[in-house]
Amino acid sequence: MVISCSDRERSNPLDPTNPVTGGAPTGLVIQSNRDTVTLQWNAMAVDDLESYRIYRGIGNSAPIFFDEVGADSTEYKDISVFTDSVHQYTIQAVTAFSEGEHSKPQTIIPGSINFWVADMSLYSGRLTRISYDGAHMLDYEYFLTLTAVAFNPRTRTAWIADSWAERVYELHTDMSVKREIMLSNPPVDMAIDTTGERLFTLLKNENSVHQLSFDGYLHESIVLPTTVSRYCRLAYDDITSSLWISNYEESLVYRYKLDNSGDSLITFTGVQYPRDIVADPLMGGCWVATIAGITLIIDDGSVSVYKDSMDIKDISLNAVNGDCYYVGKNLDSGQWATGRLSTQESLRDEIILGNDYPDLYSIQVVPGQGPRGFLVSQAYDWQLLRFDHRGQTIGAMSGFNARLDFALE
């Protein structure tokens, strides 16, 4: 067989007409992990290769030369990123005699947090760690039947509850198990007190909440006058040192005052089919997503209802300013909406997304001042969607069920 000079040239990885490389490094993958963006690419088998050049563009700017690494490197970490800004990267191979083509640009939006996502469907059990822009999977692991996830910023570890295994696990950020605590019954939900280093588990069968130390020592068993099912939810209120428990099937909310020798358990009836319950991070009390609006119960026991014409699927509270974000469907028109109640503006209602984004069932807001971005799950398309504070899509990822629990790292 005769090989022509032009064939030999095209086999050169730096040849622009090379059908595999196009003259540029291949396999460029980028990921953000909080305030760091990592680039990885395939090594190029090129004689006299001296370096790889990194090009970066911020916002609408085209990538310009940013840094350079040696020929033996196939990874680069950018630690000088700008939160909430589009970063565009390309790389280029350089030899002693020439420069290759630029790789196809890759974009990412780094930020100060990552998302932990627990799939609470009965047959999934997947725990996923996702980048700030909701577009890059950082890690995942499978368990049996997940019912809750929480993150402890003091120890930089995550806690998960596994109902089928009857355990809670403390995990490192690489998802390796740091601690495993066996429980007496299946946990349907879990909450943590990072300051007091306490763990609360809501248990089926014995219808109780167990208060444990982080090392698994049982301090208190709180028996509830209700039947705990997988549709019950639990929240810890560190402002008033209380636990809030909702029961969907019985339309009840309970408040249990911790460290209180008096009337510790208070019952709130008529909360119509509560789906989720979230403690207010600034004032104490709780917010409840129900089939007939959002119920707010404050510390003195007063009850208010907002958005009572909507079937609210889920809520999320901004830990910095207390705004309540929600997803739901209008009971009369059947139109879907995503919005927020602004605590800085007397709970003024702002619609962020309309019926163009139907079937949203779970939501997690990114904390901060003013309007904020958020992550939602969309049923039937089985995907996560990440929106910025203007309601513009900045990331998406498929392969997720609708019933999810979120935590922020």
Q: Average pLDDT, stretch 284-303? A: 97
In 270-335 the beta strands, taken as DSSP E runs, fall at: 276-279, 286-290, 293-297, 303-306, 310-317, 324-330
DSSP string for residues in 39-81 = EE------TTEEEEEEEEEETTSPPEEEEEEETT--EEEE---
* pLDDT, tens digit (0-9, with 9 covering 90-100), for 24-63: 999 999 999 888 999 999 999 888 999 999 999 999 999 9
With pLDDT > 90 as the criterion, what percentage of the chain qualifies? 88
The structural domains of the chain, with segments of one domain joined by +, span 5-108, 115-408
Q: Are 273 and 258 in contact (CB under 8 A)?
A: no
CATH of 115-408, one of 3.40.50.12160, 3.40.630.30, 2.60.40.2140, 2.130.10.10: 2.130.10.10
Q: Please tell me the distance from the alpha carbon of residue 242 to that of residue 219, in angstroms, as a whole number.
A: 16
Residues 6+ apart with CB under 8 A from 122: 145
CATH code of the region 5-108: 2.60.40.10
Would you give the distance in Å from CA 392 to the centre of its chain? Answer: 18
DSSP letter (8 states) at residue 262? S
Phi, psi of 8 (to 5 degrees): -65, -40
* pLDDT, tens digit (0-9, with 9 covering 90-100), for 189-220: 999 999 999 999 999 999 999 999 999 999 99
Q: Please tell me the distance from the alpha carbon of residue 297 to that of residue 280, in angstroms, as a whole number.
A: 9
With pLDDT > 70 as the criterion, what percentage of the chain qualifies? 97
